[in-house]
Amino acid sequence: MGEMENRDKEKKNQRQEMVSRSNVLIESKSSTSLFERKLLNIAIAKAVIEDGELIARVTTKDVKDYLHISGNSIYTRLRDASKETLGHVVSIEDDGKENFIMFNVVNKCEYMDGVFTTRFTKEMKPHIYNLKKDYTRMSLDVLCSFKSLFTTRIYEILRTQYYRFEKEGSDEIIVPRPPKAPYSLAELKFTLNVVDANASRTVKRLVEQGRFEEAIEEIKDAAFDDWRNFRRKVLEVAKKELEESAYSEICFEYEPVKSGKGGKVTGIRFKVRKNLNCTHHSDLWRIRGDEMLEIIPDVLEAKQPEIQEGMILEVADIFGNEPVTIQDIKTLIQASGQNVEAIKKAFSMSKQQSYINNLVGWMKKCLEERWYEKEVLPQFKGRTVEDSQITLDIYQEYLDEREGKTQS
């Protein structure tokens, strides 16, 4: 079995990590490379609060698993991406009130002993952490699967509207939703990173003022200035990649909006559908007539009830200073059936053990098998788990061996 197959098999056995972003952040203007954006998404998925600061630690294994790079290139690419990220400025506009806010994404990046650490700015925190409304959760696997930055950006923007399929009871949704005006072609180019919003001081100022047509005219040899090139090298590339993707839940068609003499294309509307080629999510469903078929049940767990943010905070308090991530907490909440008291019991039981190599893994097993309801922990070769001082992996081997003997 090849290295890629081994990685894919290993990832199938892991819980999916999610990236949460405010919708205004998703639709903001910024200039990033595809690698930088993927790396930033990994960091957002792994971000935790430490001493009041939002910090993410990404290992070289994470980089290899999600970005499929290895060897000496990891150091070089992380170093180059850090330079880009430190200069990464987000611009969020309120067109109705002609207001805007601009801020840096990170304060510091460092790479030490195989761990890449990102420290987010305080302005970034409310857009990626402990979100309660107007945000979108996306799979990190999906976001890291795309080969084009344009595909990634179009997916992110259209994905914010996914809730409308159920709300409107339709197989197709129009984005932007009428009577809202279509996306301005000029603005869309900045939003998709087709042209650099920070190309010059003048361009930056015009973008801040919402004067996108003038901003593009200010850029000499702007990429894909011609509609036909933009359609062929941006829209068609993204459309094809999403349609053929086994990861993307959505695909799209688009409708150019023309105006003025000669019918110049000035805007775009998207027609978004669920992607029937998607085989990545078990919590998505493919509809064919009256028949409902589940998609790939072995990749992710069955659809879980939505976890309330208040419950995440309540469980976080249980751990005190223990280093756990938001995803760790969500894993335990789902393993417990959203039973906070059970998680408290499992945590208390973990403190009674002599040695645990993987706290979250041990607690997940405890919750799934309801060890906290038993007076005596399961036996391991005549001894309790506590007496044996074994790791979860060894105990799992014992369970597998015991199950095999039972079946034989």
- For residue 294, the model assigns a pLDDT of 36
Which parts of the chain register pLDDT below 70? 1-16, 70-72, 95-97, 222-223, 280-305, 321, 354-355, 357, 375-408
pLDDT in tens, 311-358: 888 888 888 767 777 878 888 998 888 899 999 998 888 887 766 767
Model confidence, pTM: 0.66
145-301 placed in CATH 3.10.310.30? no
Task: State the CB neighbour count (10 A cutoff) for residue 276.
Answer: 13
Q: Which amino acid is at 64?
A: K
Side-chain-side CA neighbours of residue 68 (13 Å): 12
| 15/333 Cα distance (integer angstroms) | 13
pLDDT in tens, 80-119: 999 988 888 888 877 665 788 889 999 999 999 999 999 9
- For residue 64, the model assigns a pLDDT of 86
Q: N- to C-terminal Cα distance for the chain? A: 28
Q: Which amino acid is at 383?
A: R
CB 18 within 8 Å of CB 327: yes
Please report the beta strands in 223-290, taking only residues with DSSP state E, as ranges in sequence order.
Answer: 250-259, 264-274, 285-288
Lookup result for tokens 């409304």: 133
- What is the CATH number assigned to the segment(s) 1-128? 1.10.10.10
Domains of the chain, by residue range, sit at: 1-128, 145-301, 309-407
Interhelix angle for 236-244 vs 149-159, to 10°?
Answer: 70
What does the chain come to in residues? 408
Please name every residue paired with 379 in a beta bridge, in sequence order, or none if there are none: 384
Q: Which amino acid is at 403?
A: E
| 274/165 Cα distance (integer angstroms) | 9
Contacts of 226 (CB under 8 A, 6+ apart): none
3-class SS letters over 73-116: HHHHHHHHHHHHHHCCEEEEEECCCCEEEEEECEEEEEEECCEE
| 285/144 Cα distance (integer angstroms) | 22
* Topology agreement, domain 1-128 and domain 145-301: yes
Contacts of 135 (CB under 8 A, 6+ apart): 20, 21, 22, 23
- For residue 70, the model assigns a pLDDT of 67
